[in-house]
Structure 1
């Protein structure tokens, strides 16, 4: 069977850095927020298959293995119906993630700040997507220690080993 190159057109390279958040000051700066419920059909370290329900839309996402520094990985995402997402969430591995995502514009970038609930309550992580691994950006005062590449902060791992169980 020939390889389908059209599949590659939907793929993207994700360059992302993650940080802990030190206060809730970001909430006053947010221009948008929405609830997210997500689960994993596959949370293997080589690839993850995620189902996400965001408001009235669903998404199916496949992410590849991160580079050694945790900054870069392949990502493929397809929008699906809310109904399909709700059904697929029932097939996911244990450990559904519930969070509110806040979008905060700071400088020339947008930070996505996730406030987790349920088994991950108390954890707040900010992510910023970049165009290159060396791209500079302004850091807001509420941005704490960088956790890019620390696997325990990946959503797929938070579903298996939630924040409430950390020592």
Structure 2
């Protein structure tokens, strides 16, 4: 499956009162090679393993494959991951016909808040909430795999 996604910085905490759902996410990387990233994620009580391919030059799309795994399997795989586990709270906000996922990072990435929106096609028009800031789509330093190696507090 090809994922089409845009990323933005967030300018205020207003998203917290607009969220329909919040979930704590712990994730690590078995492989952070830009050609093929392999992620293990614990999203609440659900486990997932995800393989992502290399992003297009503009950073808008890339191959993504994801499978649900047990919570126990995810916890065990997280122990095998590279250093730099990501800890964040995800807020899901419906805005128009889309859902923004706003990630508020903790630990070494504390202070970073990034909003993502998945689209059906690259030029799709979408409603922008007032708290949506600068677009950072395609900027590698905002990829979670990169944040695990070079956290926000080192910039």
Scaled by the length of structure 2, what TM-score is found?
Answer: 0.99
Question: Within 1, Cα distance between the matches of 2:125 and 2:47?
Answer: 32
Question: Within 2, Cα distance between the matches of 1:19 and 1:122?
Answer: 14
Residue in structure 1 matched with residue 131 of structure 2 by the alignment: 142
Question: Within 1, Cα distance between the matches of 2:127 and 2:77?
Answer: 38
The secondary structure found in structure 2 opposite 1:75 is: strand
Q: State yes or no: 1:120 paired with 2:109.
A: yes
Residue in structure 2 matched with residue 88 of structure 1 by the alignment: 77
Q: State yes or no: 1:20 paired with 2:9.
A: yes
Residue in structure 2 matched with residue 9 of structure 1 by the alignment: none
Which residue among 68, 79, 84 is the counterpart of 1:79? Answer: 68
Unaligned stretches of 5+ residues in structure 2:
none
Alpha-carbon distance, 1:17 to partner:
0.1
Over aligned residues, Cα RMSD in angstroms? 0.4
How many residues are treated as equivalent by the alignment? 155
Q: Which runs of 4+ in 1 moved over 3 A?
A: none
Question: Within 2, Cα distance between the matches of 1:57 and 1:107?
Answer: 28
Larger Rg: 1
Residue in structure 1 matched with residue 33 of structure 2 by the alignment: 44
Question: Within 2, Cα distance between the matches of 1:108 and 1:80?
Answer: 29
Deviations 1:113-141 (A, max 9, x none): 00000000000000000000000001111
Alpha-carbon distance, 1:47 to partner:
1.1
Which residue among 86, 91, 108 is the counterpart of 2:97? Answer: 108
Alpha-carbon distance, 1:72 to partner:
0.6
Unaligned stretches of 5+ residues in structure 1:
1-11
- Write the mapping of 1:150-161 to structure 2, written as runs, cut at 5 A: 150-161=139-150
Scaled by the length of structure 1, what TM-score is found?
Answer: 0.92
Alpha-carbon distance, 1:55 to partner:
1.1
- Write the mapping of 1:48-63 to structure 2, written as runs, cut at 5 A: 48-63=37-52
